[in-house]
Structure 1
Amino acid sequence: MSLLVTLVKKVWCIKRFLILVVTPLVLCPVLLSLPPKEGKCLFVVLLMAFYWCTEALPLAVTAMLPIVLFPFMGILPSSKVCPQFFLDTNFLFLSGLLMAAAIEEWNLHRRIALKVLMLVGVQPARLILGMMMTTAFLSMWLSNTASTAMMLPIANAILKSLFGERPNNKSVKVEAGPVAAPENKLHPVPTELQLLTRTEEKDLPEKMEVSIDVAGEKDAGKERDYQNRVWKAFLISIPYSASIGGTATLTGTAPNLILLGQLKSFFPGCDVVNFGSWFVFAFPLMILFLIIGWLWISLFHGVISFRCKNKKKSEVRLDAEAKAREVISEDYRKLGPTIFAEKAVFFFFCLFAILLFTRDPKFIPGWASLFSPGFTSDAVTGITISIILFFFPSERPSLSWWFDLKAPNTENKPLLSWKKAQETVPWNIILLLGGGFAMAKGCEESGLSVWIGGRLQPLEGLSPALAVLLITILIASFTEFASNTATIIVFLPVLSELAIRLKVNPLYLMIPGTVGCSYAFMLPVSTPPNSIAFSTGHLMVKDMAKTGLLMNLMGVLLLSLAMNTWASSIFGLGTFPDWVDLHLHNATALASALHNVTAGG
């Protein structure tokens, strides 16, 4: 028995190596059961999908496999594979990351977060709403992971200022000791329980003292339970709102950009999806989901309730909230007055957003109409602003400096340095995007997309509205266990061909599939924000599963509602567009050419 246990442990230690070696062997029958070129492409797609799901290799390393496998297997030449890693979509994503790096460099995101919290108030339900709104807004421009990592310490410090140190789940003491000030200098205020137990009791009769202790213990238990639920509601709301907020802009999360890139690959004539049109569709959906999600989290965890019936107890809690409000205000004051660099970054951030919205808004001519058609894109706008950040001074230029001989002759620091960009930009995600675009190009050129479409004939009788619902449920469930980026890379080619079989606009299925893969709320491993919140040690898997199950369901239903209402008019989903006919013509010509080559061979 001990020998078997030892053997299992050794196998577990080399599990990644075994996956790397065994997976290609298991997939070999794919090469024999399909036409040569389609079989080879499907082999690579399944191999990458399995490596992504198991993380046998780092995600970015798996994304580079097409550079090696496509040329060697005769699927695509290197001259067509490598450019997919630096499409204009990748540069749009890079520009968003550089803007986020500048915002983080000058602490503008923290000022925004604290200002919002000062405005919403410190009652737990309002604080949760403020946290969710702030996290979602930051996640529209920063990465979901960075937004969560920044907001969780703020939430933790505010909770300590309201309730003191959170008691351990296993052994809870009635009286909490003094709490050490956290790193961000938010000082805790006494808990309501501590304030209640400070009353003078030494002069009371012995019998009365016993009865107060019993009642106090009962109230203490209720208060500890309330505090525990508030802690969980806070910690769980932040990663959820980060995932929701990332869907509102094209640069907010990688799957949105993968959709844009694969649309350009499969349907070059499709020009209805850009930064502005996506925002008009996704921002109302984000707001609606945030409000409903806030209500659900607050009700499920008992944050919204009528607990404070005792007037004295209510006054104590109000006093604690007033002190917490003062703590937040003090932390905001410690940021000091707004400096020139913050104002400059905020200006360029607004300019970045405005130029992206107005480039080609469709309903009116955008500034792109001033240039030759096809010469400008969202990437041009983003990189233009990003380049300015690298030379624009972080201190106000002064004309008197030229005439002041005693002024220090030091070089003015720019808003963003390349060193900061290297440290903060997740370059692995850019490679992951490139891998997805290379995979899509391989599916198109090899004829695999056409072959997949031929296998989807049994689904042709499916109602489009039902198809949207089923697809969103499937992808939202799948992404609970796999990277959302890897998930959408694998599913988008299938969804595009399914839409053609159903005779509907491909966007009608591809958009809900893309947004749905960000709706992963049930497990800690689903998304990096979930993992960060879970790593605090205050949440259990069942906490996330119970809250996240209904969040997933609400997301699916709201997304289905959006696709059948306002998204239909924004993207023209009620018609079968001309750019699909062009794709079908090219696909038919490619299939005919492949058939002739095979027959001639």
Structure 2
Amino acid sequence: MAALAALAHKAWSARRLLVLLLMPLALLPLVFVLPPKEGRCLFVVLLMAVYWCTEALPLAVTALLPIILFPFLGILPSNKVCSQYFLDTNFLFLSGLIMASAIEEWNLHRRIALKVLMFVGVQPARLILGMMVTTSFLSMWLSNTASTAMMLPIASAILKSLFGQKEPPKDLSQEHEENAAAVRRNGLHMVPMEMQFLASTEGRGHAEEAEAQLDLPADPVEEEEYRKNVWKGFLISIPYSASIGGTATLTGTAPNLILLGQLKSFFPQCDVVNFGSWFIFAFPLMVLFLLVGWLWITFLYVGIRLRGWRKKKSELQTHAEDKARAVIQEEFQNLGPTKFAEQAVFILFCAFAVLLFSRDPKFIPGWASFFTPGFISDAVTGVTIVIILFFFPSQRPSLKWWFDFKAPITETEPLLSWKKAQETVPWNIILLLGGGFAMAKGCEESGLSAWIGGQLHPLEHVPPTLAVLLITVVISFFTEFASNTATIIIFLPILAELAIRLRVHPLYLMIPGTVGCSYAFMLPVSTPPNSIAFASGHLLVKDMVRTGLLMNLMGVLLLSLAINTWAQSIFQLGTFPDWVHTHEANITAPPPTLANDTVRTL
């Protein structure tokens, strides 16, 4: 028995290596059972899916497998595979990452966050709202991991001012290491300044904080439960709003860019999705979801208040709120006056957003209409702005310097150095995007997409509205256990073929699938933000499950509402577009139902 237990323990410790070696053997029959080219492509797709879900290899390394397997298996030549790793979509995402690095370099995101918190006030419900609004806004432009890593220490400092040092003790260095490990596991970068914030508030005025503790009413047990609930509400709202905020812009999260890239692969003539049209669709959805999520979290954690607590607001409670307000103001003042570099980055950031939005907003002619059609893309716009970061001076230029021969001669530092960009930009995400695009190209040219479409014929009679609901539910729960990037890479080709089978606009299914894979709220392992919040030690798995289950369901319902209302006019979802026929011409066995031009009513 002991030997069996030891063997099982060894097998578990070597599980990644076992998956890496045994999975190709387990999937090998597909090559012989299915049609030759389709079977070989499905072998690669499922192998990558398993490696992504189990992390037998790092995610970015798994994304490189098509470069080896597609040419060797005769699916795609090397030049077609490698070109997928640097499409213009990758450069759009890269420009967003570089802009985020400049924002973090000059602490512009920190100034924005503290300013919002100063505005909303320090009552728990209002502070949670401020945390959620700030985190979601930052997550639209920064990675959701960096946004969470920044906001959690700020939330901890405010909570300590409200409740004193009564939270469960946790070593600061241990918390920093756990947060950093959670970030590194997902290949993203830390924001070192944010951890310094927590360190700076940890040892500040313990005696004063003890005085500022909220005094307990007659029943200290119930009050202690309330205090824990408020603490949990703060911490759980931050990763959730980071995940929601990332859906609002094309550059906010990788799945949005994968949708754009796979659209260009499957349907080259589709031009209805760009930064502007996506923002018009996704931003109202984000605002609605944030509002509903705030109401739910506030009801669950802050709304359960004691009757005696409501009647009397003690002097110590008032002092605690003043203390929390003072902490926010002090940290804002510590940033000092707004620097020239912050102003420059802010102006370039606004130009980045405005130019991307106005390039081709669809409802009115954009500025790209002044150029040859098809020449200007979102990637051109993004890269144009971020290149300025590498030469624009971080110090205010002065004419006097040129005529003052005694002035020190020093080289002016730009807003962002390439060394800093190398250190902070998560380059592995670019490879992950490329791997997804290569997989989509292989599915299309091997005929696997058409073969999958042929297997979906039992779903032809499913009402499209019900199909959207089912797809979003399945994907949002699937992504609880797998990377959202890997999830959408796997599902998008299937959704494209299913849409053709259902005779509906492909985006009618692909957009809900893309947004739904960011709605992972139930488990600590679902997303890096969830992992970082859970590593604080104040949340239990059951807290995330009971809060996240309803968040998942609310997200599914709101997404279904959005795709059936305002998205219809933005993306022309009520039609079966002509550009679908280009895809039909490229696949080896178009489904027979495509001969029928009847359009399903949404």
**Fold match, TM over 0.5?**
yes
Residue 37 (structure 1) aligns with: 37
Q: Secondary structure at the match of 2:219?
A: helix
Residue identity opposite 1:419 in structure 2 = K
Q: Secondary structure at the match of 1:345?
A: helix
Distance (whole Å) between structure 2 residues aligned to residue 256 and residue 193 of structure 1: 45
Structure (1 or 2) with the larger CA radius of gyration: 1
Once the two structures are superposed, residues 496-544 of structure 1 have per-residue CA deviations (whole angstroms, 9 ceiling, x without a partner) of 0000000000000000000000000000000000000001111110010
Which 5+ residue runs of structure 2 have no aligned equivalent?
171-195, 593-602
The question of whether the paired residues in 2 share the 8 Å contact of 1:192 and 1:317 is answered with no
Match of 1:183 among 199, 210, 224: 199
Q: 1:311 to 1:464 in 2, by over 3 A?
A: closer
Residue 435 (structure 2) aligns with: 435
The answer to which of 425-434 and 187-196 deviates more is 187-196
Residue 318 (structure 1) aligns with: 318
Trace 1:138-153 onto structure 2 (pairs within 5 A): 138-153=138-153
Trace 1:87-98 onto structure 2 (pairs within 5 A): 87-98=87-98
Distance (whole Å) between structure 2 residues aligned to residue 470 and residue 591 of structure 1: 23
CA displacement at 1:314 relative to structure 2: 3.6
CA displacement at 1:303 relative to structure 2: 4.1
Distance (whole Å) between structure 2 residues aligned to residue 402 and residue 507 of structure 1: 57
Distance (whole Å) between structure 1 residues aligned to residue 198 and residue 48 of structure 2: 43
Distance (whole Å) between structure 2 residues aligned to residue 305 and residue 559 of structure 1: 32
Distance (whole Å) between structure 2 residues aligned to residue 450 and residue 516 of structure 1: 24
Distance (whole Å) between structure 2 residues aligned to residue 460 and residue 590 of structure 1: 15
Distance (whole Å) between structure 2 residues aligned to residue 373 and residue 35 of structure 1: 41
Trace 1:403-552 onto structure 2 (pairs within 5 A): 403-552=403-552
1:373 aligns with 2:373: yes
The question of whether the paired residues in 1 share the 8 Å contact of 2:157 and 2:327 is answered with no
Q: Aligned residues, how many?
A: 564
Q: Secondary structure at the match of 1:519?
A: coil
Once the two structures are superposed, residues 278-298 of structure 1 have per-residue CA deviations (whole angstroms, 9 ceiling, x without a partner) of 000000000000000000001
The question of whether the paired residues in 1 share the 8 Å contact of 2:449 and 2:493 is answered with yes
- The percentage of aligned residue pairs carrying the same residue is 75
1:384 aligns with 2:400: no
Q: 1:488 to 1:278 in 2, by over 3 A?
A: same
Residue 201 (structure 1) aligns with: none
Q: 1:322 to 1:193 in 2, by over 3 A?
A: closer
Q: Secondary structure at the match of 1:290?
A: helix
Once the two structures are superposed, residues 56-98 of structure 1 have per-residue CA deviations (whole angstroms, 9 ceiling, x without a partner) of 0000000000000000000000000001000000000000000
Distance (whole Å) between structure 1 residues aligned to residue 64 and residue 10 of structure 2: 29
Q: TM-score, normalised by structure 1?
A: 0.91
Once the two structures are superposed, residues 242-291 of structure 1 have per-residue CA deviations (whole angstroms, 9 ceiling, x without a partner) of 00000000000000000000000000010000000000000000000000
Q: 1:95 to 1:402 in 2, by over 3 A?
A: same
Q: Secondary structure at the match of 1:276?
A: helix
Residue 16 (structure 1) aligns with: 16
Residue identity opposite 1:282 in structure 2 = A
Q: 1:341 to 1:25 in 2, by over 3 A?
A: same
Distance (whole Å) between structure 1 residues aligned to residue 532 and residue 198 of structure 2: 18
Distance (whole Å) between structure 2 residues aligned to residue 368 and residue 286 of structure 1: 27
Residue identity opposite 2:345 in structure 1 = V
Residue 183 (structure 2) aligns with: none
Q: Secondary structure at the match of 1:573?
A: coil
Q: Secondary structure at the match of 2:248?
A: coil
The answer to which of 576-585 and 547-556 deviates more is 576-585
1:360 aligns with 2:360: yes
Residue 211 (structure 1) aligns with: none
Residue 255 (structure 2) aligns with: 255
Residue 79 (structure 1) aligns with: 79
CA displacement at 1:310 relative to structure 2: 6.7
Residue 180 (structure 2) aligns with: none
CA displacement at 1:582 relative to structure 2: 2.2
CA displacement at 1:161 relative to structure 2: 1.0
The question of whether the paired residues in 2 share the 8 Å contact of 1:229 and 1:303 is answered with no
Trace 1:84-123 onto structure 2 (pairs within 5 A): 84-123=84-123
Trace 1:278-317 onto structure 2 (pairs within 5 A): 278-303=278-303, 305=305, 307=307, 309=309, 313-317=313-317
Distance (whole Å) between structure 1 residues aligned to residue 198 and residue 473 of structure 2: 41
Q: Secondary structure at the match of 1:326?
A: helix
The question of whether the paired residues in 1 share the 8 Å contact of 2:454 and 2:591 is answered with no
Q: Secondary structure at the match of 1:473?
A: helix
The question of whether the paired residues in 2 share the 8 Å contact of 1:239 and 1:529 is answered with yes
Residue identity opposite 1:355 in structure 2 = L
Q: 1:143 to 1:418 in 2, by over 3 A?
A: same
The question of whether the paired residues in 2 share the 8 Å contact of 1:191 and 1:320 is answered with no
CA displacement at 1:192 relative to structure 2: 7.6
Residue 128 (structure 1) aligns with: 128
Distance (whole Å) between structure 2 residues aligned to residue 273 and residue 312 of structure 1: 54
Q: Secondary structure at the match of 1:222?
A: helix
Once the two structures are superposed, residues 399-452 of structure 1 have per-residue CA deviations (whole angstroms, 9 ceiling, x without a partner) of 000111221111111000111101111111110000000000000010000000
Which 5+ residue runs of structure 1 have no aligned equivalent?
171-179, 197-215, 593-601
Residue 276 (structure 1) aligns with: 276
CA displacement at 1:365 relative to structure 2: 1.1
Residue 202 (structure 1) aligns with: none
Distance (whole Å) between structure 1 residues aligned to residue 286 and residue 250 of structure 2: 13
Q: Secondary structure at the match of 1:363?
A: coil
The question of whether the paired residues in 2 share the 8 Å contact of 1:49 and 1:486 is answered with yes
Distance (whole Å) between structure 1 residues aligned to residue 269 and residue 257 of structure 2: 17
Distance (whole Å) between structure 2 residues aligned to residue 305 and residue 484 of structure 1: 37
Residue identity opposite 2:256 in structure 1 = N
Q: Secondary structure at the match of 1:407?
A: coil
The answer to which of 284-293 and 320-329 deviates more is 320-329
CA displacement at 1:185 relative to structure 2: 3.8
Distance (whole Å) between structure 1 residues aligned to residue 166 and residue 257 of structure 2: 40
Q: 1:133 to 1:184 in 2, by over 3 A?
A: farther
Distance (whole Å) between structure 1 residues aligned to residue 58 and residue 388 of structure 2: 33
The question of whether the paired residues in 2 share the 8 Å contact of 1:40 and 1:73 is answered with yes
CA displacement at 1:226 relative to structure 2: 1.3
Q: Secondary structure at the match of 2:103?
A: helix
Q: 1:267 to 1:310 in 2, by over 3 A?
A: closer
Q: Secondary structure at the match of 2:524?
A: coil
Q: 1:444 to 1:591 in 2, by over 3 A?
A: farther
Once the two structures are superposed, residues 529-569 of structure 1 have per-residue CA deviations (whole angstroms, 9 ceiling, x without a partner) of 00000011111100100100000000000000000000011
Residue 209 (structure 1) aligns with: none
Q: Secondary structure at the match of 1:474?
A: helix
Q: TM-score, normalised by structure 2?
A: 0.91
Q: 1:276 to 1:184 in 2, by over 3 A?
A: farther
Residue 351 (structure 2) aligns with: 351
The question of whether the paired residues in 2 share the 8 Å contact of 1:166 and 1:228 is answered with no
Q: Secondary structure at the match of 1:411?
A: coil
Distance (whole Å) between structure 1 residues aligned to residue 47 and residue 501 of structure 2: 26
RMSD: 1.9
Distance (whole Å) between structure 2 residues aligned to residue 378 and residue 310 of structure 1: 52
The question of whether the paired residues in 2 share the 8 Å contact of 1:193 and 1:220 is answered with no
Distance (whole Å) between structure 2 residues aligned to residue 371 and residue 311 of structure 1: 66
Q: Secondary structure at the match of 1:247?
A: helix
Residue identity opposite 2:13 in structure 1 = C
Distance (whole Å) between structure 2 residues aligned to residue 317 and residue 585 of structure 1: 70
Q: 1:590 to 1:309 in 2, by over 3 A?
A: closer
Residue identity opposite 2:390 in structure 1 = F
Distance (whole Å) between structure 1 residues aligned to residue 10 and residue 554 of structure 2: 43
CA displacement at 1:318 relative to structure 2: 2.0
The question of whether the paired residues in 2 share the 8 Å contact of 1:447 and 1:591 is answered with no
Residue 57 (structure 2) aligns with: 57
Residue 555 (structure 1) aligns with: 555
Distance (whole Å) between structure 2 residues aligned to residue 365 and residue 10 of structure 1: 63
Residue 199 (structure 1) aligns with: none
Q: Secondary structure at the match of 1:578?
A: coil
Once the two structures are superposed, residues 163-221 of structure 1 have per-residue CA deviations (whole angstroms, 9 ceiling, x without a partner) of 11243399xxxxxxxxx99424474653688564xxxxxxxxxxxxxxxxxxx684322
Distance (whole Å) between structure 1 residues aligned to residue 125 and residue 213 of structure 2: 22
